[in-house]
Structure 1
Amino acid sequence: MVQTIRFLLIIFCSVLMKGQSGPDFSILADKAFQKLYQNPDDCISYSQSLLISDQNPEHRVVLQNIISQAYAMKGDYVQSVNIYSQKDDTKEKENQSFFIQAAGDYNLADQYQNLDLYSQSQRIITGILADNKLLKGDNPRMNAITAKLYQLQAINFGINRNLNEALESLGKSDRYLGPHNQENQILEIENRIFKASYLLRQNKQEEAKHLLESTLLLAEKNTDYYFLQALVYENLSRYYFLKEDYDKASEILEKGLSRIESLPYNQLKARIYESLSRNFFALHHDEKYHQYNKLYTELRTQLDSNTKEGIRYIVKLVETNQINNLEFQKQKQTKKVLLISAGIITIILSLLIYFLMLRSSHKDLKKQSEFFQKQKEQELKTGPKPSEEINSGNKTSEKDPNKISKEKEDEILQKLEEWEKQQRYLDKSMSLSVLSSQMGVNTKYLSEVINSSKGKNFNSYINELRINHIARLLRTDPVYLNYKVSYLAEYSGFSSHSAFTTVFKSVTGMSPNIYIREISKNSAS
């Protein structure tokens, strides 16, 4: 019976679409876009029913973009990329309308951004925005694409901590929004939320709070825009977290979660779960901390797996279309994942054996002394981040000029420095292949530069960054001295308590517990 009703609905939409003119399609597409923020599953069903009957290429690319975004909101990146790949390729690209080309390129940039491949996304965005056809502002449909592109650009700038540029791009996005439909109003609300998040990061906390509270009123005028409401609450909670009002922050987060708890907005849910676990950890509410941390860990694991599958899929798609993207082509063979896994296991086993052999020696004492001396030197130099210590360690290492040009090496080193400043080495899922994709750098080149410039392989490099980061926090922020070692291990990106302890001792010459004891003793005296 349900299937029959659904079939009749599709037939009805088909008949309706055949009699629709352009403006009528705009109304239907606007409704589909609204559903994106109400329930992604309803959005997919509704948009696909329109897509079945509409053969207009421009209409189809609009609907495909909406469906693709709905799958991305669910965290189903393979289906999101799959919908993008179903675009009409029966005509050569040069014979397609400019709108179809721009909409398709926007969707691809959005796919890259969903998969954390920000440099690839920014490259596409920059290319499209350089075309004056897009910026004329005389076509409402093109204006929506332009506004979305500037919004994507702002998010990219925000990821790279270029906050002034991010705010400037949001302003440009707003200029292409008109009062024509609900899509423009939704994009305006999103821009206000992003602006507030960047103001928070610029320590303009009261301005951000005022903007978020007024935005919440706009989002709640449409009572079924559940995603936008939850997104505002999630950002507003950060204000109270920064004020150390963890009770208020938790209350706001739970309000946001209540808006989407029964809906498949998995990316946003994961962020809310993570924020709730941090707040309840700060409140020493162990039961709720473990509850939300478990939910976050399970959902984050699922999303990370989906991201990896999405990257593999988009790599194959790019190769099929013969796009010269070396960093993607290097990932096409599944056996590389097995080789990397085997290499990591081998390194971990080697480290364990090495540390067991050193256990009875006196080298730990020397290492402890050297480590504390380094930390004191860092404090005298106004406390640079651990990433700076690693980055400056071995720049004089010899390099084989036949392997990589000096210019390419300097470019990779600059990207590594920016990556360290963002502290993305704390991401538990970070690997050489993932970093290579995010930076837009050949995996072989990246590995070669790390070995020659840092004097160590990738795993030793990232582990040392993590240990220096957590060791400095323990030394400079007394709050961390009260945390369990298992939490410190998870916070700094290690897969287990034992791995963290082993690497910590290799870097500092002592176990985490002994290090904490020494720091506490010095603080007390």
Structure 2
Amino acid sequence: MKRKNNKLKNNIRVLLPVLLLVFTQTLFCQEKDRHIVNKAIELSFYSPDESVKLTQHLLKKAETPSQFVQAYLIEADAYRAKGEYSKCANNVFNANQYREKVNDSLKAEILFRQIFLARTLRLYNQFDNYAAGLISLSENQDQASLSSLITIKLDIEKAFILFGKNEYAKGLDVLNTLEENHFPEIKAYSYLDKFYLVKAIAYKGLDEYEKSNDYYVKALNDYLKNHSKTNRLTEIALVKGQAELQFHNKDYAKSIANLTIALQKAEKLENIYALEDINNLLALNYLALNDKENHNLYNKAFLSYNRKVYDLEIASVNECYSLIGEQQAINYTSRENTLKLYMYSALGLLFLILLFGSLLYFSNRAQKKRLKEIIGYLEVTNKLLVESTDKVKKMAPKKLSIPTETEQNILASLKKFEGTTKFTNKDMSLATLAAQLDVNTKYLSEIINKHYNDNYNTYINKLRINYIIEKLKNEPEYLNYKISYLAEESGFSSHSSFATVFKSITGIAPTVFIDLLGKEIHNKKA
């Protein structure tokens, strides 16, 4: 008996150090992995390539759904920082495979990445679907903190969507309501810099430049005070936003200085979208300074990145629709398997099974049909969709009695005006034109209505569209310019208003027109 006890004691003495060593190593590995996760998060928007290397290590070691989701989302953020939205989408949809196996916080993070992709690539139907998922998650949430965080982030995304549709006033209303109801939470979650940045963009869109500048300053101060200064995307947005305001105020030196800083940060991220935008703004600044050498340098870079951005957007949209299709196919297969299980376990309820099976069959068939339509439409249009707006109803003007000689003089003046490019001036209003022609505004409006069968706005817009069409036909380099540049060149205040007017006059979107015209020119040369 004593021998057995002694043997047991000896075994314990031998095993105890081994067990302690294993336990210590396990704790060390867990602590090391937590450090890697934190480092990967920190680098995702600062040095995305390094972050991806760390997430690849985490994915190799991942065992639980939460670990996989966390690694995929960090990698998605890294590719977002680089502007590689196809790879970002792949990681988000990989994470989405585990959505039902993780906590609500990670579910929300997956949906927010999907919302970002839908908003950035203008997949508005998908945005609404993901937003509905977040609202449902928030409403069924026991944690008040997570519910309020979802509300804050979702409202900011909704504001961005409205900005994309040129509805800045509505976007600002969303932000003001959010500030009124959740300002303490916005501050507590360290979202104040993002909130101020979005408000700055809203006021800039409304041409309230002083307020916009105030919010850019607030956003920058909060970012520098409360963050680790490792988010180059945020830094680029803040500096570039101020540079745009300085350009508007004709302070070109400061604008160029800020854009140079933003360009350096964008180059470190290798973000094609940011590089395209910044080079375009630099080219415009140097154009305003009549510095042809630098204008040509940055404009050439802008055109090069513009082509790359176009290709990236098409690839990203195709990738997203492909992933959405795969997800629907998985859901379809899952539902079919569920149906089989019901059929095997409930043979005695034949009528109910047949009814259920029929409903499920037709539902899935409709979903598959809808998916094919979406993908088919995407292939035809290549995502060159333009938001349509309601046409302004023409009000029948009161007839004026204009002397024949006056009428002829006004018509002659209009013909001379049409031979110039003055109509490309953004500030060319009815009153401005009347003053230049030295005529009465009512007479001028009446003459345009009578002889052109259009109101003043339509008359000017037709001149602008015809002008840019002639440029596209006769100067091939214009086919490579960005739509926003063509809008600026022809006198429109924004990309969206140009696209809407162009389509209303020609019947097709400007991007489609440019594509068709390019092919026609190529065929003629061949």
Tell me how far apart the structure 2 counterparts of residues 76 and 90 of structure 1 sit (CA, whole Å).
23
Q: What's the CA shift for 1:382?
A: 5.7
Q: Taking structure 1 as reference, are residues 119 and 337 closer, same or farther at Cα in structure 2, changes over 3 Å only?
A: closer
In structure 2, C-alpha distance between the alignment counterparts of 1:200 and 1:379, rounded to whole Å? 36
Equivalent residue runs for 1:46-61 within 5 Å: 46-61=54-69
| TM-score for the superposition, normalised by structure 2 | 0.58
Residues 384-423 of structure 1 aligned to structure 2 (within 5 Å) = 423=495
- 2:278 matched to which residue of 1? 272
Equivalent AA in structure 2 for residue 329 of structure 1: K
Report the equivalent of 1:424.
496
Q: Which has the higher contact order (CA 8 A, sep 6+)?
A: 1
User: Among 337, 358, 372, which residue is 1:329 paired with?
Assistant: 372
- In the TM superposition, residue 236 of structure 1 has moved relative to its aligned partner by 0.3
Deviation for aligned residue 1:231: 1.6
For each residue in 1:166-225, what CA deviation from the matched residue of structure 2 results, as whole angstroms up to 9, or x when unmatched?
234446386485677xxx43x432222121111122232222212222332343454544
Please report how far the alpha carbon of residue 458 of structure 1 lies from its aligned counterpart in structure 2 after TM superposition. Answer: 2.6
Residue 70 of structure 2 is matched in structure 1 by: 62
Of 383, 386, 389, which aligns to 2:457?
383
Q: Distance in 2 between matches of 1:195 and 1:266?
A: 25
Q: Partner of 1:114 in structure 2?
A: 120
Query: Aligned residue for 1:45?
Result: 53
Closer, same or farther in 2 for the Cα pair 1:310/1:338, shift >3 Å?
closer
In the TM superposition, what is the alpha-carbon distance from 1:301 to its structure 2 partner? Answer: 1.4
Cα distance in 1 for residues equivalent to 2:39 and 2:187: 15
2:305 paired with 1:294: no
Q: Is the 8 A contact 2:83 2:271 kept in 1?
A: yes
Match of 2:85 in 1: 77
Give distance in 1, aligned partners of 2:383 and 2:165.
Answer: 27
Q: Which residue of 2 aligns with 1:458?
A: 508
CA-to-aligned-CA distance 1:428-456 (integer Å, 9 cap, x gap): xx9x9xxxxxxxxxxxxxxxxx8xxx697
CA contact (8 A) 2:81 2:269 kept: no
Q: Tell me the residue number matched to 1:415.
A: none
Sort the Cα spacing of 1:335 and 1:317 in 2 relative to 1 into closer, same or farther, 3 A. Answer: closer
Distance 2:312 2:375 in 1: 16
In 1, Cα distance between equivalents of 2:260 and 2:221? 18
| 1:172-321 paired onto structure 2 within 5 Å | 172=178, 175=183, 177=185, 184-185=189-190, 187-220=191-224, 222-321=228-327
Corresponding letter in the other structure for 2:155: Y
**Cα distance in structure 1, aligned partners of 2:68 and 2:138:** 24
| Distance in 2 (alpha carbons) for counterparts of 1:224 and 1:147 | 22
Shift of 1:267: 2.2
Partner of 1:166: 171
| Cα distance, 1:313 vs structure 2 | 1.5
Question: Cα 1:231–1:303, aligned 2, differ >3 Å: closer, same or farther?
Answer: same
TM-score by length of 1: 0.58
Which residue identity is paired with 1:256? A
Corresponding residue for residue 110 of structure 2: 104
- Would you say the 8 A contact 1:154–1:169 is kept in 2? yes
The 3 A distance-change label for structure 1 pair 15 and 273 is farther
Aligned to 2:30: 19
SS of 1:458's partner is coil
Match of 1:35 among 16, 20, 43: 43
Q: In structure 1, give the amino acid aligned to 2:223.
A: A
Q: CA deviation at 1:386?
A: 6.5
Q: 1:119 to 1:272 in 2, by over 3 A?
A: farther
Query: Shift of the alpha carbon at 1:83?
Result: 0.9
Displacement, 1:233? Answer: 1.0
1:300 alignment partner, SS class = helix
For residues 202 and 381 of structure 2, the distance between their equivalents in structure 1, rounded to whole angstroms, comes to: 39
Query: CA distance change for structure 1 residues 109 and 252 in 2, over 3 Å: closer, same or farther?
Result: same
Q: Deviations over 1:313-357 (max 9, x none)?
A: 12122222227487763464699559999xxxxxxxxxxxxxxxx
Equivalent residue runs for 1:147-166 within 5 Å: 147-166=152-171
Query: Would you say the 8 A contact 1:199–1:208 is kept in 2?
Result: yes
In 2, the alpha carbon distance for the partners of 1:456 and 1:383 equals: 16
1:231 alignment partner AA: A
- Give, in whole Å, the separation in 2 of the partners of 1:159 and 1:319: 25
Change in Cα spacing, 1:389 to 1:30, as seen in structure 2 (3 Å) is farther
Task: For 1:30 and 1:168, locate their aligned partners in 2 and report how far apart those are by CA, in whole Å.
Answer: 36
Q: Is the 8 A contact 2:186 2:192 kept in 1?
A: no
Residue by residue, what CA displacement relative to the aligned partner does 1:73-125 show, whole Å, maximum 9, x if unpaired? Answer: 2121221111122126378x4x6644444333222222212323234324422
CA distance in structure 2 between the partners assigned to 1:153 and 1:339 by the alignment: 25
Inter-partner Cα distance in structure 2 for 1:69 and 1:80: 7
Q: Contact between 2:45 and 2:81, CA under 8 Å: does it hold in 1?
A: no
Q: Distance in 2 between matches of 1:313 and 1:162?
A: 28
User: Letter of the aligned partner of 1:219 in structure 2?
Assistant: Y
Secondary structure at the counterpart of residue 322 of structure 1: helix
Residue type at the aligned position of 2:457: G
Larger radius of gyration: 2
Q: CA deviation at 1:298?
A: 1.4
Pair 1:322–1:297, CA change in 2 (3 A): same
Q: Which runs of 5+ in 2 are unaligned?
A: 1-24, 330-366, 385-413, 419-443, 466-491
Amino acid at match of 2:198: F
Return the offset for 1:426.
Answer: 5.4
Shift of 1:155: 0.6
CA contact (8 A) 2:314 2:382 kept: no
CA displacement at 1:135 relative to structure 2: 6.6
**What SS class does the counterpart of residue 315 from structure 1 fall into?**
helix
AA of the residue aligned to 1:19:
Q
> How far apart, in 2, do the equivalents of 1:125 and 1:339 lie?
25
Q: How many residues align?
A: 372
Partners of 2:368 and 2:464 in 1: how far apart? 30
Shift of 1:242: 1.7
Task: Give the deviation of 1:38 after TM superposition.
Answer: 1.5
Root-mean-square deviation (CA, aligned residues, Å) is 4.8
- Name the residue aligned to 2:468: none
Find the aligned partners of 1:114 and 1:385 in 2 and give their Cα distance.
Answer: 34
